[in-house]
Structure 1
Amino acid sequence: MKDEKKLLFKVGELASLVGISVRTLQLYDQKNLLNSKYNKSHKRVYDRNDLLKLQQILFLKSLGFSLKEIDDIILKQTNGDDLEKVFTAQRKILLNQIQNLNKIVETLDIVISETNVGQKVSMERIVTILKLMNQENPYSFIVQYFDDDQLITINNSLLQNPEIQSEEKELFSQLGSLYHQGYDPAGIRGQELAKRWWDLVCEFTSGDKEMMKTLFSIGTDSAKWPENTKDMQKSIESFLEIALYIYLQNNDILIKDGTVQ
């Protein structure tokens, strides 16, 4: 049995093996992405490591990476002999692609559902959806709960305010961490989170009672949230709702029908 590391492929053989043209291999050679070697007969050949490198190039190219991106960013960070590292990195890229595509599909489903009931999709709604998709925001489904005037407020107060966006992401991350680590919602960490959460809600709504009411209605409708929010839904129902209830009671803040009394 031949030693795989010493196995050599001529240009035509490698092209036929992986299903690409000789011209494509020549292009990769010219771009210094995949340089051939010369055998004793002075013919261009490729070895096992070149085959693995070609697999990476074709994979990344199928995901939309340019040849320059593949050369400058990806290939120079990997070792052709380290198969586990190569395929693990590719798997991570694919999972990220799948997650992003699922988010886009769910957002488009919202738009489709609104057009199906004969409603004209407003410019404010389209702009908000596009911004949320651009930010890869997992909560883009919430646009269906707000009217057009409220979406204008969201655009102005949230999507154009990096500080609020950063605070929001940090709070969701902390919520997930406290929930999964089994912290007590009534404890110090739980009540600190509840205070920061309530402060963010007040800043976000700016005293708008209807906006506040809509936010509470989103929380009570969590059973209808998309599949990719299930983990977040559990942490909200089992931790945040309890922590907030205790915090509001301790601070004599009364909520009735989604509004502060």
Structure 2
Amino acid sequence: MHINELARKTDITVRTLRYYDSIGLLKPSSKTDGGHRLYVENDLKKLQQIQFLKDLGYALKDIQEMLSDASWNWEHSLRNQLNYIVEEQQRLKSMEVSIREMLHSLVLEQGDQHEAIEKLIQLSKPKVAKRPSLREELFSHDEMMMWRKLPRMRANDPHSLEWIALLGQLKSHMHEPPKHEKVQNIIRRMMEKQREDFAGQDDFLNKLWEARKSAEVSEELGFYPLEPELLDYMEAAYDIFITNEGGTAE
């Protein structure tokens, strides 16, 4: 069969087949008097093997050696390839989490990529723990169970995404007074979410807020860095909301 027919049967481009020929991976069985490549059924089978191994992640130079070396240790090679793929999956998963975290940081920082990067660098710096476990020291066992409900910059669940969006919206309105209607609407939704997840847990929320307001404690707990100005603004807006509501948060 001519090269064009082989390309049609295998969905591989003529250019790729010519490249395989040039590197000696798949040479045609013969050529016409005019120099056109001719392939036979065995060439087709070898090409299918090449594509199969390529789909397993092997490089072309490795495939060439695998198909030409009768003493090739297939089990050893496949185990090595499996280990490589598992490690690559872990690396890609780590990259996925970091990219998601960067996207969420951009939302919170209103598109300021420099600020987002600086804060993520700060967040990722290795920390020397001053105490065995600050989290366990500050919060009881039951409160540690509630810790899992907190939004996370690296998460992709609707709960975390909404909190990130709300914080970003609040930050974008800091030029307005805390009593502004738009600001109070944001705080109202924050309060609704707070009560949905932490109703009756005032002690936990108060401890959490005090920890969040301390830059040192916040960093040690691994919180995303928030400016003191934003925290003060949020606290003032919350106070106005609670006062207007006519009582204290549940």
User: TM bucket by the smaller chain?
Assistant: 0.3 to 0.5
User: What TM-score do the two structures reach when normalised by structure 1?
Assistant: 0.42
User: What TM-score do the two structures reach when normalised by structure 2?
Assistant: 0.43
| Greater relative contact order structure (CA < 8 Å, 6+ sep) | 2
